[in-house]
Structures are given as C-alpha cells and as structure tokens.
Amino acid sequence: MHPIWLRKTVTLGTGSDYEFYITKDGAEIYRGHAYKRPGASSVEVVLNDICRDYLAALPASGSVVGAPYTATPTPFVGTFSTYLADNTIKDTTTFILDWSYDEARAALLALDPTAVILEDPIVPEWSNDLPVLVTSPVAREYSDGEDSASSAKPAVFTFAPGSGAALVLEDVDTGDERTFPLRKFCGEWYALVYLNAFGGWDQLVCDGRSLRSRSYDRRTITREADNAATGISAARRAVHTYGISEADRWQLSTPFLTDDQSARMHHLLGSCEVWLVSSADTSAWLPVTVETDTVEVKTHANQEGGMVAYSFTVKLAEERRR
C-alpha cells in the first residue's frame, strides 16, 4: 500500500539503460526506455510521474458488498507493476487515495497494511438507519455474527446496522473485532457520508439547524413580439425562456464537538467524495460538493470557552435542467 501523495521510485538496475513497461491491474498502460542519469549509480523511474493520468481521477466504482451501494467508489486506485522488457518484475505497488500527508502513517501502511484502520470519524458513531461502510486496505472476510462478506482484494464492505447499540465485526481469519457505535437520531437530520483523508468512508450526522434552498439559472432570448396575437400564444412573448438549471443547496450545522473532534473536520471539508442522506428518505443518497471555501479552525479556547460547532454549505453535484 502506498499513499497517492508519496513519491514512489522504482530501481530498474545498475546498467546504463533499460526498456520497461508498466501494467495497471494486469493491463499494460505504458512502455518506455530509461537511461542512467549522469553521476547516478542506477537507473530509476518515478512511478507517480509516469502514471499521473491514472492517479488523478477517482475510480468509477468499487468492490462493494450489498445493495444499494454498488456505485460506492473504492479508495484504492489500483495495483501498478513495473517489468523489464524480458518480463522480469521489478516492483508492484498498490496506490491508495490517502491524502493525509502523514509520514508515520505512510510508513506503517507500506510495512503492514493489516495494522492500519482507514476510518477516522469526527463523531465516532453511525446512524442505525443507514448501512455501515467498512473500508479494508487488504483482502479480508468480515462477519457480524449473522452475515459475512469477503473480498480477495482491498474493498469497501456494506453491513446492515441492525437494531443494537453497536455493530461488531469479526475478522474471520484473525478473530480481531471492530466495533462501530450506532445511535438512533430523532427528528429531522442529514447525514454526510464521505471519503476521508485516509481513504476510508466515514459518516457525520448533522441534526442541528439546517436550511435547504434552490436557485434557478434562466437562459432567455429576446425577440420581437406579435402584439396582435391573442390567447396563450408564444408569439406574444418578447422574452423566451429556452432553458432553466436548478441547483439545490443545504446549509448544515454539526453537533457540538470536542477539540479532538473539531480537529478531524478536515476529513469532511477537504473530501472530494461526499454524499448526503436525509432522514426523510434514507434510501436516496445524493452526491454533493462542499461549497464553503474558508472555515475557521475552531477550539474551545478560540471560541472563548464556548461550544464548538461548524456551519457550512453543500451543493447538489447532479445537473438538473429543463
């Protein structure tokens, strides 16, 4: 496992030059010729530079167990293998969408991916009206005591929360357990499910004050009207509307947070993959983007001892025209 931000250098050998090729998930994506730099002791290539086009975009879909979240993107970009022209393999690297810029975490991820947890929730609880998404950086089989799910590669698993106060998952191979606290939220609430900076999926329920608004962008053309026309006739119009775009926005407020929880808000505010779910219809997951550009980093001290909460705006990421 290798964070997407961390430079990855592959050594091809100590000769003067090498022909090589690179595959992504088994399919060849690049073939080239590399030469030794002046003063260097070996021929090296930077995998991030060569595979930049494949690292820049989110995958279209992931390995998700359970409906209806079959379109949930996986945080794993893919596995890249570097070969010499004679098919000698020199390196295999799996990139993960980890944007934490944490050197210690990156070292641990490369050393032992099984020891790394990709979740880092702002408030460590899930709504028990929604499935729990569990991200694993390695092949695993999980069981909640009733159902089990497995994958032969890194994957995102979906488990129904059930009616208890917690979802306990057991790693079938090691016997290790992971606990996801659950809570029943009353009244109207919005949940944001998002890909955090570590590449895992987290959830934050905003059950405070919320405002929903809708804006309309009208495209018109002006023509000469026929003033002699009568009745409901387009000829009477001087201004014709030929298209309207709608944009829905939600102003949301977090619950009151501790300083430690406030320090995790960057996971949500900096996420490029955010989904909105409403208590009015928990089966509808809407793609949204966080519109708020600048957010004060809050602590109890800089709020003069007051409670810490955040307000921000999200916008529907779908295009709606008529």
* Residue spans per domain, the chain: 2-115, 126-211+247-321, 219-243
pLDDT of residue 61: 42
CATH class of the 2-115 domain in this structure: mainly beta
Please list the ranges in the chain whose pLDDT falls under 50: 60-71
Structure token digits, residue 129: 């009206």
Nearest to 189 by CA among 133, 245, 127: 127
pLDDT of residue 73: 63
pLDDT of residue 72: 57
What residues pair up with 93 in beta bridges, in sequence order? 80
Nearest to 285 by CA among 118, 131, 136, 135: 131
Percent of the chain with pLDDT over 70: 95
pLDDT of residue 146: 82
Considering only the C-alpha atoms of the chain, give the largest distance between any 2 of them, rounded to a whole number of Å.
88
pLDDT of residue 70: 44
Euclidean distance between CA atoms 240 and 12, whole angstroms:
65
Q: How many Cβ atoms sit within 10 Å of the Cβ of residue 23? A: 17
Asked whether 170 and 142 are in contact (CB, 8 A), the reply is yes
**For 195, phi and psi rounded to 5 degrees?**
-85, 115
Residue pLDDT, tens place only, 258-297: 999 999 999 999 998 899 999 988 888 888 999 977 777 8
Euclidean distance between CA atoms 258 and 306, whole angstroms:
11
Residues recorded for the chain: 322
Euclidean distance between CA atoms 178 and 170, whole angstroms:
6
2-3 and 89-96 beta bridge pairing: parallel
Residue 87 CB partners (closer than 8 Å, separation 6+):
none
Is the bond preceding 68 in cis, omega lying within 30 degrees of 0? yes
